[in-house]
Amino acid sequence: MWYIYGVNWFRGVGGNSPERVYKIGHATSVDCISWIKEGRQLIPDKLNSNECQALPTIIEFDNRYHMYFCYRQAVGFRNDRNSAYRIGYAYSEDLNNWTRDDEKAGIDVSSNDWDSDMMCYPHVFTCDGRICMLYNGNEFGRFGFGLAVLER
């Protein structure tokens, strides 16, 4: 199971309330009741140590595992497009060691549309032999969600 876990609380300059900082982790279970957490951050930070990472989704394709997730700054993400969620990407050969390479995510905010400020909460799946991604747009999906299809 891939999940997110909190590592600390962060209060920005002049911030009224602290924001939580969370990372992506992994746990295993033989019975889906008792879980053993690995206790380590799987995906390295890109922005800074207070980067928040959420909603990992993994798919196997071409003998490699591909993880899509979203990430953002700890503060300012609700009203500053430069601090808001973006889609991140990492790959692995063994599901344990991940290499982050966001430039290969293949998707980014639009220039002026419902997903021009934020892209978050991706879910990757296959449908009719195609790889698809559902994701939320601006304001956590308030103005819509998208369906992206991988072009091969």
Percentages helix, strand, coil for the chain (3-state, rounded to 5) are 5, 45, 50
Is a pLDDT exceeding 70 seen at residue 21?
A: yes
Indicate whether 11 pLDDT > 90: no
Domain that holds residue 93: 2-149
Per-residue pLDDT tens for 27-75?
999 999 999 999 999 999 999 999 999 999 999 999 999 999 999 999 9
Tokens (6 digits) for 130: 């195609």
Q: Where residue 96 falls among pLDDT bands split at 50, 70, 90?
A: very high
pLDDT > 90: percent of the chain: 86
pLDDT of residue 17: 83
What is the residue-averaged pLDDT of the chain?
A: 94
What CATH number has the domain bearing residue 120? 2.115.10.20
The domain tally of the chain equals 1
**AA identity, residue 132:** C
Could you tell me which of 96, 92, 93, 76 has the C-alpha nearest to residue 84? 76
Helices (H), 2-144: 138-141
Q: How far separated are the first and last CA of the chain, in Å rounded?
A: 28
Q: What is the pLDDT of residue 152?
A: 76
